Amino acid sequence: MQDVRESLAANPALPEHLFERLAATGDEDVRYALACRDDLTEAQARTLRAHDDADLWTLVARGKVPWAEVPRDDPALLLAAAQAGTAPEAAIRELARHPDPEVRAEVADHGTGLPPEVLAALARDPDPTVAERAAEVPELPADLAAELARHAHVPVRVSLAGNDRVPPSLLAALLADGGRPAPTRCGACGRQAEGCADHTPGVRRIRLAAAANPSVPPAALEAFLDAQEAEEGQEAEEAATVWLLADIAERTDLPVSLHTRLAAHPDAFVRKALARNPSIGESLLLRLADDPDLIVRLAVSENPAVPLARLTADAGRRRLPREPLPRILAATDAELANLAASRVAQVRALVAARPDLPPALADRLAADADLGVVRRVAPHPGLTEDRLTDLVERHGQPVYGAVAGNPGCTGALLRRMARDAGPARKAVRPIAAHPALPPDVVEDLLTHPDPKVARAAAEHPALPVATMERLLARASES
């Protein structure tokens, strides 16, 4: 019955007197579920705290505890209040001067909204871990960024190089040589940055971080890639470079020369990232569509610029994607109508997955003879009650889950499907979560053999209060 109590604690229709009973159980999982309720009030937070302070941090972090009631002797709680926006600026200033560097670093993590002088003090903190966090703050002023670009410790410059709000010219300088003067300390061991045999050389780490930053100028990237190709790195460095090149391949502001170079990279992971990039041009996109690696060819279909002719030509040879493809989402009504008339069921299914289909087209696809097409169009909100009922009558249990995903599905149809589906999990789980599910069906599903269905029923707002009381009484007796 533990799951029942937790599910009741998450039920948005839980009445106040049952909230208090659940809070008094002393069960930490139940109390945590109560503390995480979206509609939790300050009064309910006080009720939880009256029984136990175990969830105090969660309550403070969610802004459910007034500043006057936050204990002043616990830095973790003060930080949580600062991050929730309930702590005054004076408290943040005091935390920034805390003797524990980890606390000061957490203040830097607070990020946006820090007073300028507090941010400056954190960036100049004697402990490099604090300065490292400060270097990541989006509101870092240009002069302070320039100062951190000269920091002795490698990790500080690495963090700065990853901050996409840093001026592009400064990022280009970090990309070129790690910044001047050269760093003198390796962040992993504190020894000389370039003299440590156990860790990646510091300058290289800084340059890799800058190269992955989407704000670094493309011209600086081209020179960096030239240098990369001339180097022979260790295996770990080569792996890091592959991830980096994949990040670069996703950029839409690169010159054609870089796109062409990346399309010829030997690692399919890089080519896959490039294949999703809508700015690479049709000729290069079609070249990647014939790539020898399947993951690259599949990525082409996810590109919003892929020609419809190519997309539909490949549709019959591949499994349908779970989500609507970007090119289908961008198709015009005329293009959609043309695709919906295709003789290939997979092409019609691609269209059926689009959530904003014109109602007439959605209705037409709902009458399709292919089950795959019908399943994908069944959740469309434009379908009428009669059409949804027709889908259930024609296809039976295989479409129950899809029909239950339709916001317009009626309580009567949900009841019919729930009682006919039996123990079928895929069919019943969406039914149990539908907001229109009638109370009597919710009660029936409480004893479903699938625990996820039973939990969904216990969390359903249509669950009668009398049933909640009975469940809680039974759970207390067990």
Q: What pLDDT is attached to residue 160?
A: 97
How far apart are the C-alpha atoms of 337 and 69, rounded to whole Å?
A: 61
Q: Is residue 104 included in any domain, yes or no?
A: no
Choose the final residue of a domain: 361, 377, 393: 377
Asked if residue 355 and residue 298 are part of one domain, the reply reads no
Backbone angles phi, psi at 185, to 5 degrees: -130, 130
Asked if residue 245 and residue 227 are part of one domain, the reply reads no
pLDDT tens string 46-82:
999 988 888 899 999 999 999 999 999 899 999 999 8
> 3-state SS string over 275-341?
HCCCCCCHHHHHHHHCCCCHHHHHHHHCCCCCCHHHHHHHHCCCCCCCCCCHHHHCCCHHHHHHHHC
Choose the final residue of a domain: 215, 231, 247: 231
Q: Is residue 118 included in any domain, yes or no?
A: no
Q: Is residue 84 included in any domain, yes or no?
A: no
How far apart are the C-alpha atoms of 288 and 299, rounded to whole Å?
A: 9
Q: In the block, which residue shows the tokens 């169009």?
A: 377
Q: Is residue 336 included in any domain, yes or no?
A: yes
Q: What pLDDT is attached to residue 194?
A: 57
Instruction: Determine contact, residues 249/261, Cβ cutoff 8 Å.
Output: no
Q: What pLDDT is attached to residue 190?
A: 58
Choose the final residue of a domain: 207, 231, 255: 231
Low-confidence ranges of the chain (pLDDT < 70): 1-2, 111, 187-200, 229-240, 478
Asked if residue 367 and residue 314 are part of one domain, the reply reads yes
Q: What pLDDT is attached to residue 236?
A: 44
Total count of domains within the chain: 3
Q: Is residue 64 included in any domain, yes or no?
A: no
Give the angle 148-91-139 at the CA atoms, nearest 5°.
30
How far apart are the C-alpha atoms of 437 and 405, rounded to whole Å?
A: 12
Q: In the block, which residue shows the tokens 């359903």?
A: 460
Asked if residue 199 and residue 147 are part of one domain, the reply reads yes
User: Structure tokens of 269?
Assistant: 């992971």
Instruction: Determine contact, residues 280/259, Cβ cutoff 8 Å.
Output: yes
Q: What pLDDT is attached to residue 54?
A: 83
- Give me the domain span that covers residue 176: 140-231
Asked if residue 238 and residue 224 are part of one domain, the reply reads no
Q: What pLDDT is attached to residue 316?
A: 73
Q: Is residue 174 included in any domain, yes or no?
A: yes
Query: The pTM is what?
Result: 0.80
Q: What pLDDT is attached to residue 234?
A: 44
How far apart are the C-alpha atoms of 454 and 450, rounded to whole Å?
A: 6
Asked if residue 336 and residue 295 are part of one domain, the reply reads no
